[in-house]
Chains A and B, each alone.
Chain A
Amino acid sequence: MSVRVPRRCGTHGVTTIWKGPVMATITIKNVWKYYGDTAAVKHLDITCPDGSFVSILGPSGCGKSSTMRMLAGLEHISSGDIFFDDLRINDLAPKDRDVAMVFENYALYPHKSVFENIANPLRLRKTEEKAIKERVEAAARLLEIDHLLDRRPHELSGGQKQRVAIGRAIVRQPKLFLFDEPIAHLDAKLRAHMRGEIKHLQRELGTTMIYVTHDQLEALSMADYIAVMHDGELQQWGTPSEIFNHPVNAWVAGFVGEPAMNFLTCDVIGEGDSVSLRHRNFDIPLLPQQVRQLNGGAAAGRARMGVRPDALDIALERPGGPSITGEIFVNELLGGDMLVEVALADTRVRVKTTPEFTGKPGQTCHLTVNRDKWHVFDTTDGHAYF
Chain B
Amino acid sequence: MTEATHFGKEGAFRLAGDLFRAREHSTEVEARPISDPKPRPTSFNPPAPKRYYLYLMAPAIAILAFISLYPFFWLIVLSLQDVDIGGGEWVGFKNYARLLQDPRFKDGWILLLQYSAMCLGLQLTIGMILAVIVNNSKYEKFLVTALLMPMMMAPAVAGLLWLFLYNGTFGWYHWIFQSIGLLDSASILATPGTALYGIVLVDVWQWTPLITLIALAGLKRVPRDQLEANMVDGASPMRNFFAITLPNLYPVLLIAVLLRFMDNFRFIDHILVLTGGGPGSATKILPVYLFEVAFKFFKLGRGAAIALTLLIVTIVLGMILVRVFDKPKSGRT
Residue A100 at the B interface, CB < 8 A? yes
Residue A159 at the B interface, CB < 8 A? no
Which of chain A's residues has its CB closest to B226's CB?
A: A107
Q: Chain A 158-184 against B: per-residue CB contact (8 Å), 1 yes, 0 no?
A: 000100000010000000001000000
* Contact A109–B332 (Cβ < 8 Å): no
* Contact A154–B235 (Cβ < 8 Å): no
- Cβ contacts under 8 Å, A178 to chain B: 232
* Contact B333–A108 (Cβ < 8 Å): yes
- Cβ contacts under 8 Å, A12 to chain B: none
* Contact A109–B232 (Cβ < 8 Å): no
- Cβ contacts under 8 Å, B236 to chain A: 93, 95
Nearest-Cβ distance from residue A300 to partner chain B, whole angstroms: 49
Nearest-Cβ distance from residue A107 to partner chain B, whole angstroms: 4
Q: Chain B 2-14 against A: per-residue CB contact (8 Å), 1 yes, 0 no?
A: 0000000000000
* Contact B225–A107 (Cβ < 8 Å): yes
Stretch touching chain B among A119-127, A201-209, A218-226, A265-273? A119-127
Residue A153 at the B interface, CB < 8 A? yes
- Cβ contacts under 8 Å, B126 to chain A: none
* Contact A95–B226 (Cβ < 8 Å): no
Which of chain A's residues has its CB closest to B329's CB?
A: A111
Residue B24 at the A interface, CB < 8 A? no
| C-alpha gap A168/B223 in the complex (Å) | 18
Residue A106 at the B interface, CB < 8 A? yes
Residue B233 at the A interface, CB < 8 A? yes
Q: Chain B 289-333 against A: per-residue CB contact (8 Å), 1 yes, 0 no?
A: 000000000000000000000000000000000000000011111
Given contacts A110-B331, A154-B331, A161-B333, contact A105 B234 (CB under 8 A): no
Residue of B228, B239, B248, B329 near A124 (CB, 8 A) is B239
- Cβ contacts under 8 Å, B228 to chain A: 72, 74, 94, 101, 103, 107
Residue B281 at the A interface, CB < 8 A? no
- Cβ contacts under 8 Å, B235 to chain A: 95, 124
Residue A29 at the B interface, CB < 8 A? no
Residue A99 at the B interface, CB < 8 A? yes
Residue B244 at the A interface, CB < 8 A? yes
Residue B217 at the A interface, CB < 8 A? no
- Cβ contacts under 8 Å, A106 to chain B: 333
Given contacts A107-B223, A109-B226, contact A74 B232 (CB under 8 A): yes
Given contacts A105-B225, A124-B239, contact A94 B232 (CB under 8 A): yes
Residue A51 at the B interface, CB < 8 A? no
- Cβ contacts under 8 Å, A161 to chain B: 333
Q: In A344-359, which residues have CB < 8 Å from any B CB?
A: none
Q: In A239-254, which residues have CB < 8 Å from any B CB?
A: none
Residue B167 at the A interface, CB < 8 A? no
Nearest-Cβ distance from residue A26 to partner chain B, whole angstroms: 15
Nearest-Cβ distance from residue A283 to partner chain B, whole angstroms: 56
* Contact A101–B234 (Cβ < 8 Å): no
Residue A63 at the B interface, CB < 8 A? no
* Contact B333–A110 (Cβ < 8 Å): yes
* Contact A152–B331 (Cβ < 8 Å): yes
- Cβ contacts under 8 Å, A154 to chain B: 331-333
* Contact B331–A109 (Cβ < 8 Å): no
Nearest-Cβ distance from residue B94 to partner chain A, whole angstroms: 51
Residue B62 at the A interface, CB < 8 A? no
Q: Chain B 235-247 against A: per-residue CB contact (8 Å), 1 yes, 0 no?
A: 1100100011001
Residues of chain A at interface, number, CB under 8 A: 29
* Contact A109–B244 (Cβ < 8 Å): yes
Residue B65 at the A interface, CB < 8 A? no
| C-alpha gap A154/B330 in the complex (Å) | 9
Given contacts A107-B223, A107-B226, A124-B239, contact A101 B232 (CB under 8 A): yes
Which of chain B's residues has its CB closest to A168's CB?
A: B233
| C-alpha gap A102/B69 in the complex (Å) | 57
* Contact B233–A105 (Cβ < 8 Å): no
- Cβ contacts under 8 Å, A306 to chain B: none
- Cβ contacts under 8 Å, B244 to chain A: 109
Residue A58 at the B interface, CB < 8 A? no
| C-alpha gap A319/B319 in the complex (Å) | 86
| C-alpha gap A72/B229 in the complex (Å) | 10
Q: Chain B 48-76 against A: per-residue CB contact (8 Å), 1 yes, 0 no?
A: 00000000000000000000000000000
* Contact B233–A121 (Cβ < 8 Å): yes
Nearest-Cβ distance from residue A100 to partner chain B, whole angstroms: 7
- Cβ contacts under 8 Å, B248 to chain A: 111
Which of chain B's residues has its CB closest to A155's CB?
A: B331
Residue B230 at the A interface, CB < 8 A? yes
Q: Chain A 112-156 against B: per-residue CB contact (8 Å), 1 yes, 0 no?
A: 000000001100110000000000000000000000000011100
Nearest-Cβ distance from residue A69 to partner chain B, whole angstroms: 8
| C-alpha gap A94/B230 in the complex (Å) | 9
| C-alpha gap A161/B330 in the complex (Å) | 16
Residue B231 at the A interface, CB < 8 A? yes
Which of chain A's residues has its CB closest to B237's CB?
A: A93
Q: Chain A 86-99 against B: per-residue CB contact (8 Å), 1 yes, 0 no?
A: 00000001110101
* Contact B229–A101 (Cβ < 8 Å): yes
Nearest-Cβ distance from residue B92 to partner chain A, whole angstroms: 51
* Contact A73–B232 (Cβ < 8 Å): yes
| C-alpha gap A161/B234 in the complex (Å) | 20
Residue of A100, A109, A110, A153 near B230 (CB, 8 A) is A109
- Cβ contacts under 8 Å, B243 to chain A: 109
* Contact A121–B234 (Cβ < 8 Å): yes
Which of chain B's residues has its CB closest to A174's CB?
A: B232
Q: Which of the listed residues B232, B243, B244, B247 has the most CB atoms from chain A within 10 Å of its own CB? A: B232
Extra contacts, 9 of them, besides A107-B228, A109-B229, A111-B330 (Cβ < 8 A), are A72-B232, A95-B235, A103-B225, A106-B333, A107-B333, A109-B230, A124-B230, A153-B331, A154-B332
| Cross-chain pairs A/B with CB under 8 angstroms, 7 sampled | A94-B231, A95-B232, A95-B233, A107-B223, A109-B230, A111-B248, A121-B233
- Chain A residues packing against B (C-beta within 8 Å): 72-74, 93-95, 97, 99-101, 103-111, 120-121, 124-125, 152-154, 161, 168, 178
- Chain B residues packing against A (C-beta within 8 Å): 223, 225-226, 228-236, 239, 243-244, 247-248, 329-333
- 9 pairs of A and B residues whose beta carbons are closest in the complex: A154-B331, A107-B225, A124-B234, A107-B229, A111-B329, A121-B233, A95-B234, A94-B231, A101-B232
